[in-house]
Structure 1
């Protein structure tokens, strides 16, 4: 993506300057407004100096910055600031001890930006692929309130929660995906290597074959003759699907469909809502206004459909409606959660109750993931049974009939 040099004003009116990567100036403006900054000027520019001068092979093979790197950085920054270590000296130590060369370059750029007079949030904004809008907004709030160390600790906890949640979901779907891939490979091998052997036997006997056997033979011949077309068509379909998902409309429909998937849809929904509640609680405890908190949190929700619902909540709150009323209208919360939101809004402890909501969703996700295998196993067994039945009816039953006919003859 191209790079754009920007000038913006923060909430205190101070001038911010830097370079951001984005699809177009509008996307860069959205990134800036998501952190509470007002764009003044955005112009196209060349690649940042820190990324020029390296060979293309070095950039291609260099390991990218991972969320774990950012998580550990947050914890280390909290420890250093809590101990009273000056931020420049702390960053110098982190740069020298960084295991990832890519992240060491990011820390070096942060030091250079701070040395040039920029604030930490403005320096981090130069690396949107490393620090997302939620992270930048939290750091900015920490700078304004003088509680940057506390914000760093909360960001570490938030990133740890997010990473564990994603890891649990991936671990739960690994077994079903492995079984489905194994079934597809088995069907492909049967069509190419097994059924053609039986076809020779059937042809030598010149017998009338059942309909199921004819269908299997036709499918096998098509696979053998046009396997390259099938593989090419599958590759084209996957690329087209990925391109469609990359569009805003496609991403919205895809994410809405994911929420409606049998079994997995409710897990995706609850995991996303746990991330929303945790992010909102963190923003509220850090002193972020509710409207701005909803703006930032909508960008951390990893689902376009739910993110759109959160943005709708923000617009309603901005018009003066209550959190409870907007939550009911959004239609993404259960009655129990809505009751907790009502109590939290009435008692003034919405941030604490949002933490409890996040924990409740997290417990539900844990339960769903633990029972996921038992829910999917009957479906997999049914598919395997259907596959065996088709093979039995299409291949072994004709052989059995032919064998009996030969014995009688």
Structure 2
């Protein structure tokens, strides 16, 4: 097998998030090297695999796999027979059939299901692998897979809900860009030639500005599209921690989407931590795994501090209360749960509370963006119409 580039994300013993790019023949080789160096791999991906660009679709595929396998296992079918049934009914591409056969062969030779799945490309995320591993320890792999499927389904549905809520504002935004482009390329140049051919009176200042802008605007729009697309690809496929942190800080401080950005991580933190604790994974390891799934630099730093506190035998609530970003109500609920020894159950209620707040913020943002874009579009068309009509009025006054 030829060597290729793999990008990886891992957590060290102190809970610090690390990224890197290593050469290797397969994902399992990179994962083994990370564990040997004392890191806990969150994910490892091949840079040649374009499917990783669409992570929600990948999660949905793993959800379907976990749901089918959990149904077979909970029906009393042995693991090897269940895998054999799944591979025999697989109607996907040949490459996927080969991957599932490889999983079945590894399980037949004595490997655990979690170890066999870790060798796939793309492999499941650390949450799914850890849940399966916990199920293997307790003999409840079927139940663990069912919980994984529930979690991935909820995440997929929630992402789809957010996309649906943002669809109308994005449509209006695209309409604004399209109108600007059409005016700049076809409409305004036609009027400019008409006015120049008439000659005589000097064009008004507003008209000159509009015509000058229309000449440079198409190049600016295409350059902006290329710059944004290139930046997204670089952030997706390269190890640019510094730029990721800068972008995260910028988004987190923005007046409109900053709160949404943080609440997305609050939901992820409480939901993942609660799921992992319910599966029997120790708090320290659950915090490390949860840290690998967060995006906000501030929330990452807070989670890393929680890892250090838990290692020293301290509780989480005091640090969460002292935090400037974590909601106080959530911190108080976690503190009560730590006192009662029911942290995993309380985190489910905290997740519901954060999710309701996030949905409320999202609804408010979409209600505000829609009218704002309509006003912007109307103002833009009115400005262009005024700039075009001024020379017409001047010409008519000279007749």
Query: Residue 90 of structure 1 aligns with which residue?
Result: 82
Match among 197, 205, 222 for residue 231 of structure 1: 222
Does residue 1:379 correspond to 2:389, yes or no? no
Asked if the contact 1:285/1:351 (under 8 Å) is kept, the reply is yes
Query: Residue 5 of structure 2 aligns with which residue?
Result: 2
Closer/same/farther in 2, CA of residues 31 and 143 from structure 1, 3 Å limit: farther
Asked if the contact 2:317/2:335 (under 8 Å) is kept, the reply is yes
Closer/same/farther in 2, CA of residues 95 and 135 from structure 1, 3 Å limit: same
How far off its partner does 1:21 sit? 6.2
Does residue 1:167 correspond to 2:174, yes or no? no
Normalising by structure 1, we get a TM-score of: 0.80
The 5 Å alignment of 1:248-287 reads 248-287=241-280
Match among 290, 303, 311 for residue 310 of structure 1: 303
Query: Residue 141 of structure 2 aligns with which residue?
Result: 148
Asked if the contact 1:34/1:133 (under 8 Å) is kept, the reply is yes
How far off its partner does 1:286 sit? 1.1
Q: Aligned to 1:300, what secondary structure does the other structure show?
A: coil
Does residue 1:111 correspond to 2:104, yes or no? yes
Distance 1:187 1:76 in 2: 50
Distance 1:362 1:306 in 2: 16
Distance 2:111 2:134 in 1: 15
Query: Residue 19 of structure 2 aligns with which residue?
Result: none
Query: Residue 322 of structure 1 aligns with which residue?
Result: 315
Asked if the contact 2:169/2:369 (under 8 Å) is kept, the reply is yes
Query: Residue 207 of structure 1 aligns with which residue?
Result: 201
Query: Residue 218 of structure 1 aligns with which residue?
Result: 212
Distance 2:72 2:145 in 1: 11
Q: Aligned to 1:66, what secondary structure does the other structure show?
A: helix
Runs of at least 5 residues in structure 1 that lack an aligned partner in the other structure? 5-17, 36-46, 48-55
How far off its partner does 1:70 sit? 1.0
Distance 1:22 1:114 in 2: 18
Closer/same/farther in 2, CA of residues 241 and 362 from structure 1, 3 Å limit: closer
The CA deviation string for residues 151-174 of structure 1, in whole angstroms up to 9 with x for no partner, is: 112111111111111111111112
Does residue 1:71 correspond to 2:74, yes or no? no
Q: Which has the higher contact order (CA 8 A, sep 6+)?
A: 2
Query: Residue 234 of structure 2 aligns with which residue?
Result: 243
Match among 379, 394, 401 for residue 394 of structure 2: 401
Runs of at least 5 residues in structure 2 that lack an aligned partner in the other structure? 8-24
Query: Residue 11 of structure 1 aligns with which residue?
Result: none
How far off its partner does 1:23 sit? 7.9
Does residue 1:336 correspond to 2:339, yes or no? no
Q: Aligned to 2:201, what secondary structure does the other structure show?
A: coil
The worse-fitting range, judged by mean Cα deviation, of 278-287 and 175-184 is 175-184
Q: Aligned to 1:313, what secondary structure does the other structure show?
A: helix
Distance 2:146 2:31 in 1: 34
Query: Residue 40 of structure 2 aligns with which residue?
Result: 33
Closer/same/farther in 2, CA of residues 34 and 326 from structure 1, 3 Å limit: farther
How far off its partner does 1:385 sit? 3.2
How far off its partner does 1:364 sit? 2.3
